[in-house]
């Protein structure tokens, strides 16, 4: 009779949030929350862009809003359809960068720099509040997706 101990995967215990039904549900919910937050971010930036076209240096704030809208829309799509860490990292970067810039330009007057206009706006209004909440939801959801990865599988479908 052998007293062989079953092999365990290297690294930390993945816990229940990885491979079981509850883990799949949590990851799916996080993906939906991230995509929803990014979609709201995309909509609000696209909706507000025209109002900020007059705030300009070499590039207008309206153009920057359109770029943010496009990146947020792409991130929302990727986090739903390409369920890999690069898309989750991209989505986290868009959401986190959006929150950071919104808060910086809300509280700090850094002036114009390089090709970017002075975007200091020391007020809160409905769309700005909705944007920061949507970006924060997406940021938290993508942190979950990045921290709690499912175990990788071999070609025969078994975990590594």
Read off the pLDDT of residues 147-157 as tens digits, 9 standing for 90 and up.
998 776 655 55
Tokens (6 digits) for 115: 């090709």
Whole-number Cα distances in Å, 64 to 59, 61, 105: 7, 5, 13
Q: What angle do CA 120, 113, 68 make, to 5 degrees?
A: 65
**Of 127, 125, 123, 124, residue with least CA distance to 135:** 127
pLDDT at residue 13 tops 50: no
Instruction: Note the pLDDT tens digit of each residue in 69-113.
Output: 999 999 999 999 998 999 999 999 999 999 999 999 999 999 999
Give phi and psi for 84, each to the nearest 5: -130, 160
Report helix, strand or coil for 151.
coil
pLDDT at residue 143 tops 60: yes
Average pLDDT, the chain: 87
Is 145:30 a contact under the CB 8 Å cutoff?
yes
Instruction: Note the pLDDT tens digit of each residue in 123-139.
Output: 999 999 999 999 999 99
pLDDT band at 158 (very low <50, low <70, confident <90, very high): low
Q: What is the pTM of this model?
A: 0.81
């Amino acid at each position: 009779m052998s007293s062989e101990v079953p092999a365990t995967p290297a690294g930390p215990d993945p816990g229940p949030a990885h491979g079981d039904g509850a883990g799949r549900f949590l990851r799916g919910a996080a993906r939906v929350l991230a995509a929803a937050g990014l979609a709201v971010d995309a909509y609000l930036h696209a909706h507000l862009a025209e109002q900020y076209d007059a705030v300009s240096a070499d590039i207008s704030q309206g153009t920057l809003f359109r770029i943010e809208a496009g990146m947020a829309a792409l991130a929302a799509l990727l986090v739903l359809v390409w369920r890999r860490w690069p898309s989750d990292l991209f989505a986290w970067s868009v959401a986190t960068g959006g929150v950071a810039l919104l808060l910086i330009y809300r509280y700090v007057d850094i002036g114009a720099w390089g090709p970017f206009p002075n975007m200091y706006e020391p007020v809160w209004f409905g769309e700005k509040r909705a944007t920061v909440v949507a970006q924060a939801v997406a940021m938290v959801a993508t942190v979950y997706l990045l921290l709690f990865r499912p175990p990788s599988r071999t070609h025969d479908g078994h975990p590594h």
